[in-house]
Structure 1
């Protein structure tokens, strides 16, 4: 304790922790180009070319990061993935700093850094540019600033908490679940003194100011993100709820389960960490919110890293060597599951656990199959022809790989792509459609349809686009302006 009764921090193992963070970023960058783009990344590339303060399914930050990263480093998987690699390094650093807030000395801080670096979640979102890549780092930053606020009792930390929360809102609205959980935990377990005065209001004002452009866009467009969230819950809510507990055990690593359980017990019961009790209570509150809403299990993962940091702070004294060995073994397994180290033909060994691995394979082949179909359209009809994709992954692949194959810009009714259409009224056919295997309902909106091709990724890998159909139709059943609302879909 210092003279004012504030728990004193141990020296920060900055050089060693920075080495761990740099090692993770280096590994991610070395492996970044081994497969191809992920379907979400292809969508973000398209969205970045249509800059806006919001999109129907997300705020603007991730698409803008995609555009900035590829503008600087090149439009390739590696060029796109510099940002998530740096964010993963930031998450490692923040986890170690959280352990320091909870009283960890050098060894505890390093254990926390290694625990984050080898966790499946951090590796997965550090390899791909996803909204979760930004979320985990932003949430950890919010939690670190909140921990500093609670430990010191200094209300001047509130504007910083608000600023990072506002930045997180520019990436995804999910951070509101974190804020609500933390506020309820503060009311339940204290210290409630940090909620008094005008500093919390100042923090809220800063956060609102940062997030206002996206909130304004959402309000002006009828809050479409709520429609998307409701669709996700209706489609996947039951499965998300059934898998919630298993995924909490697996997403970091089974080896870390005892660590974060110890961290939760320490935060909620230890007299020395009484000031941090709200961070321990916030996790179960967040879990309830995710379960009730039918959200995805990984939504709660950043708070599990906070608990892990607390567990490393208390575990370092007597179990450091055993824990380090367990973390190393778990990290090797997580690397194989989440990173592109296997030959694509062997991916079925891990895609049943982590299907996003398979969604990085086969996009050039999809574009080539579409190009073969396009060449079946008579040359004199191509100026009036339309290339239509059923989902944003297909559209993104066609937009990225298609120009070199002679394909025009694709159209789609999926997510925000619907806002960038419809085709001009003069483009009355033919229409070349690409849609996933077995999902041919879209063909009902067109006439004279016949299949002219099928996608084969060349690896025998079962993913969402393997055996996708390439269908050539005579034209739409109605003018595009009238048909377009029927083609719009959110999931």
Structure 2
């Protein structure tokens, strides 16, 4: 049974103030660089609504489409959805602190720490699956804490519903559920695992995710192929960087608060009912490391520990040498906010990210897409006008293709094709397209170009104009005489997932 004492009042005004400041900051910077490659892909996917895509469930593309439709076809309009998700996340972290006995001061501190975390600002800045995954994880964690504190097994239905919605965005929330159930089995109360309401919660989650599972089954479970490719390419690096990247993405200066939060959940009798969450975090880490997943996968549960640590942090601040302690803590908060702004948001000139690009390379992926399209348009002009109707623009990855969809029409380009991810499902070109092929290569590839296309020669190169070494800088634009076989025969071999 959970804590019987009533909860403190929700710190509505302080939390709303933090949310308003965060929303204003994100809004002010939302259009500073440009679209991220994933955002360009999501926008195209949103124009092809389906119950699933080869690399993700449908929620993020649908949100991207809705946000752009309602708030404007621009990076700023698209990112309103990300800003709102960030606001909801801050409120959820505040609610977690309250659930764990935090008063108004602890809740405010939790909101401030969440709002100044590097990862929270970075994913709140743009629309990505991680943006809504973070919200889903915090929602599941908060509802799970309500279940534990109240001892009422009917909360399993709400936990299942939140998990089901999260699964419609990204399957990673299943790792959280597994870790929480494991923590419950180890630390108790185990009676909640024997309740038939747990079965109802599982059924609720399955019912919500079922359309996507059906889609995946009908298409041969392509998302498993994508996940396997990610692990094969990056699994070892992810394992080596697991600890340092978690520290960098959260903020090194918040680590003591997280440690205090874990210790509090583990040994403080007042929140002993939540010990399962303390057990869940190492169980989650084992899952992520074992699967070779990206280090940030475990960060949402770290935010729960951060919220739990706000009560002991305030206790520490109230002890001897208060002025010194409070000064140190205020300095740490200020330094953390400054670091998070520089790493997580586009506050620096786009051509000078320096070491920040190594910590958060996603900033560099928001630069240079119009220039990339310019390079392709210049190559297209080399094709005689009479031949363009039967010619094709082919991009090697979804970021390139998404940029050409977004910026190409204004530059006289036709709709592009690509064999990457779900773009392969939206092709191939008709076999009647027997003319030339304008090929935008992915940097560092191209050895097999002659296998599919003939008489290729370089006619351009991508230059973002900022001397920024991102994934597309220096990519070659090739003009080919045509394909070696009809598109329909080539397409299965042109399809790729990574």
TM more than 0.5: yes
Matched residue, 1:70: 68
What is the DSSP-based 3-state SS (H/G/I as helix, E as strand, rest coil) of the residue aligned with 2:309?
Answer: helix
Q: CA deviation at 1:347?
A: 1.6
CA RMSD of aligned residues (A): 1.2
Equivalences for residues 262-281 of structure 1 within 5 A: 262-281=260-279
Identify which range, 324-333 or 456-465, moves more after superposition. 324-333
CA distance in 2, matches of 1:133, 1:68: 16
Equivalences for residues 194-205 of structure 1 within 5 A: 194-205=192-203
Tell me if 1:376 matches 2:374.
Answer: no
Tell me if 1:402 matches 2:408.
Answer: yes
Equivalences for residues 273-422 of structure 1 within 5 A: 273-319=271-317, 321=326, 322-422=328-428
Tell me if 1:243 matches 2:234.
Answer: no
Matched residue, 1:192: 190
Matched residue, 2:490: 483
CA distance in 2, matches of 1:446, 1:5: 68
What is the DSSP-based 3-state SS (H/G/I as helix, E as strand, rest coil) of the residue aligned with 2:489?
Answer: helix
Question: Contact conserved, 2:3 with 2:149, CA < 8 A, in 1?
Answer: no
Q: CA deviation at 1:196?
A: 2.2
CA distance in 1, matches of 2:316, 2:480: 69
CA distance in 2, matches of 1:212, 1:436: 35
Q: CA deviation at 1:218?
A: 1.0
CA distance in 1, matches of 2:358, 2:35: 19
Q: Which runs of 5+ in 2 are unaligned?
A: 319-325
Tell me if 1:95 matches 2:101.
Answer: no
Matched residue, 2:77: 79
Question: Contact conserved, 1:429 with 1:473, CA < 8 A, in 2?
Answer: no
Question: Contact conserved, 2:3 with 2:273, CA < 8 A, in 1?
Answer: no
Question: Contact conserved, 1:348 with 1:461, CA < 8 A, in 2?
Answer: no
Tell me if 1:156 matches 2:154.
Answer: yes
CA distance in 1, matches of 2:353, 2:243: 25
Matched residue, 2:472: 465
Matched residue, 1:448: 455
Question: Contact conserved, 1:442 with 1:487, CA < 8 A, in 2?
Answer: no
Cα deviations across residues 230-278 of structure 1 (Å, max 9, x unaligned)? 0000000000000001112111100100010111111112111111011
Identify which range, 186-195 or 112-121, moves more after superposition. 186-195
Equivalences for residues 130-209 of structure 1 within 5 A: 130-209=128-207
Which of 27, 32, 35 is the equivalent residue of 1:34? Answer: 32
CA distance in 1, matches of 2:447, 2:165: 39
Q: CA deviation at 1:442?
A: 4.7
Cα deviations across residues 425-473 of structure 1 (Å, max 9, x unaligned)? 0001200011133311352210000000001101111101011100000
CA distance in 1, matches of 2:409, 2:472: 20
Cα deviations across residues 362-391 of structure 1 (Å, max 9, x unaligned)? 000000000000000011110000000000
Q: Structure 1 residues 442, 53: CA separation in 2 closer, same or farther (over 3 Å shift)? A: farther
Cα deviations across residues 404-424 of structure 1 (Å, max 9, x unaligned)? 000000000000111111100
Cα deviations across residues 192-215 of structure 1 (Å, max 9, x unaligned)? 121222211111111111111111
Cα deviations across residues 73-93 of structure 1 (Å, max 9, x unaligned)? 111100110011111111111
What is the DSSP-based 3-state SS (H/G/I as helix, E as strand, rest coil) of the residue aligned with 2:136?
Answer: helix
What is the DSSP-based 3-state SS (H/G/I as helix, E as strand, rest coil) of the residue aligned with 2:477?
Answer: strand
Q: For this pair of structures, how many residues does the alignment match?
A: 489
Q: CA deviation at 1:401?
A: 0.1
TM-score, L = length of structure 1: 0.98
Question: Contact conserved, 1:437 with 1:468, CA < 8 A, in 2?
Answer: yes
Question: Contact conserved, 2:117 with 2:249, CA < 8 A, in 1?
Answer: yes
Q: Which runs of 5+ in 1 are unaligned?
A: none
